[in-house]
Structure 1
């Protein structure tokens, strides 16, 4: 497992909030400054692929990642076609991150069943790789994505991708939080996209799950980076984000973000935060988040403080730091100098 090597640096733009967000100038600045990659996301607003196509048409070097594209939003072959097309148009720069999302979004927004996300992800990845390899017409025994469809008219036939992909093995990343899902990423993917990570706890929490990873496996951790002299305000910004994810991004009986915080050693806090949030007491939920947790998963404060707090990330298995937050060129430059300097 990698320890103490240089980190790669990427920029995670996330998904659009209330208003459309064309981050072209930010992406162009990141490319000029030597960032390795830029990533987009989707929830139930903007999609992950269209902004990447937009940015890819305006750049020439920076890699383009989805963090993550939700597997329930598209059939496996639809995602495979989209990935192949975008990879061609950008000269082989796509990094395809996929994830299962959660039952509220999958069943409430996409209208499909959520159960067995690991089995669905494995089957999904297998079908996409069949599409890209073009060794033979694509088939799948299912049970989640049977090809050809066993019902309907009965006229379905196995097909082979018309276009020859630029790359037959587009790098695949999994957004994963639970140990079994991380183990699946290590087994079948090129990388893992952790949303929340305490660098000093990664080996304890996921060492066994990562044991089977291929050489060069990329752990691309999303880390909120806020450069400011006001550490208190910066920590509060991280806590606002955590309040939403721990408290409201999932049902009380199934919230993967609360689960991971519990496994980090904050089980009592996670339970209290979720109970307060779901009871409508959001301000109390915010204040229930430990500063230590918010500080541990982020990099906030003056540049000197961030430089010191980068060392645990350098000593961890993380190989790529995906900065969330920086948008203007001076801040992007400072982050670059801190991480890559």
Structure 2
């Protein structure tokens, strides 16, 4: 059975308590894990440590932290601490993010992102083993590092995100799991072939690589209101977050729409960008509408062969009421 998880929202929440309340509510509703993406809001480590304090059973994880703003040794320390603090409920998700975030916000050169991701996975694993880390990579060098506390037992598993063929192949070859974002059902199935290729190159069983599909969801009695929130969300990501979401959408057969949304957004015509997200495209990428429609659409995604978990994410402008309505509509106990 496919796990149901949630992405805690980074936007439209007035306080940290509001974010944590969503995680507590997710545990009450029976969700398996709460992920927290680290972008331009609250940091992931503090947020997830606080959530672990307020919950008992729900898993917690980062989806994602980037591989540029922290050293790999620090990422390993953070993962070890969160695993200890949560009594073994933590899972680490990481990835390179993109130039808009890394160069624009963190002032770092977005150099060889796939190689960097591989080196981070390898170093973090060594840190979590408790052994001394002496690593001489192409991009990262670490000498003489060792945790000064006992290594976490078990060590948290490491997922990576990826959208292009080589990025997904890397996940299959080196990581414990892959997080898929901005995919259609068909696009996800195509990338699964790359994941299997990577696993085989790494001498691994593809079934051992856990797949998580991040699905934008919005369930409201007013279906049009739900769809409009999701349209705004998708237009922002395709148009305003660099070109990798645009390119991923184009690879899935929506090249004209992807470029039209991106160009409109870049020209400052945000309403036109939102209006360019057609009903067909919206339904291909999200589960939105009335609660009944959302449950039906969610099941269509959850039934994809080779998928282990669906992470319910919310439109970036969704307030607490919208988020709670959506979580209730998709609660695992139904």
Length-normalised TM-score, structure 2: 0.89
Per-residue Cα deviation, 1:24-43 (whole angstroms, up to 9, x for no partner): 22222211222100011111
- What is the aligned counterpart of 1:236 among 211, 228, 231? 228
SS at match of 2:268: coil
Equivalent residue, structure 2, for 1:224? 216
Structure 2: which 5+ runs fail to align?
Answer: 200-204
- What is the aligned counterpart of 2:136 among 141, 154, 178? 141
Per-residue Cα deviation, 1:295-337 (whole angstroms, up to 9, x for no partner): 1221112232233323422331322111123856565333115
Q: Give the deviation of 1:63 after TM superposition.
A: 0.4
Richer in helix (by share): 2
Task: Tell which deviates more after alignment, 137-146 or 297-306.
Answer: 297-306
SS at match of 1:215: helix
Per-residue Cα deviation, 1:82-103 (whole angstroms, up to 9, x for no partner): 1101110110111100010111
Task: Tell which deviates more after alignment, 182-191 or 162-171.
Answer: 162-171
Q: Which has the higher contact order (CA 8 A, sep 6+)?
A: 1
Contact 1:235-1:295 at 8 Å conserved across structures: no
Structure 2: distance between partners of 1:246 and 1:331: 23
Q: 1:62 to 1:50 in 2, by over 3 A?
A: same
Larger of the two Rg values belongs to structure: 1
Length-normalised TM-score, structure 1: 0.88
Contact 2:295-2:329 at 8 Å conserved across structures: no
Q: 1:315 to 1:177 in 2, by over 3 A?
A: same
Pair 1:312 & 2:307 matched: no
Contact 1:179-1:206 at 8 Å conserved across structures: no
Equivalent residue, structure 1, for 2:155? 169
SS at match of 1:323: strand
Q: Give the deviation of 1:291 after TM superposition.
A: 1.5
SS at match of 2:133: coil
Per-residue Cα deviation, 1:229-260 (whole angstroms, up to 9, x for no partner): 3322222211101111111111xxxx110011
SS at match of 2:54: coil
Pair 1:195 & 2:187 matched: no
Task: Tell which deviates more after alignment, 258-267 or 308-317.
Answer: 308-317
Structure 1: which 5+ runs fail to align?
Answer: 1-5, 149-157
User: How is 1:146-295 mapped onto 2 (pairs within 5 angstroms)?
Assistant: 146-148=141-143, 158-167=144-153, 169-211=155-197, 212=199, 214-250=206-242, 255-295=243-283
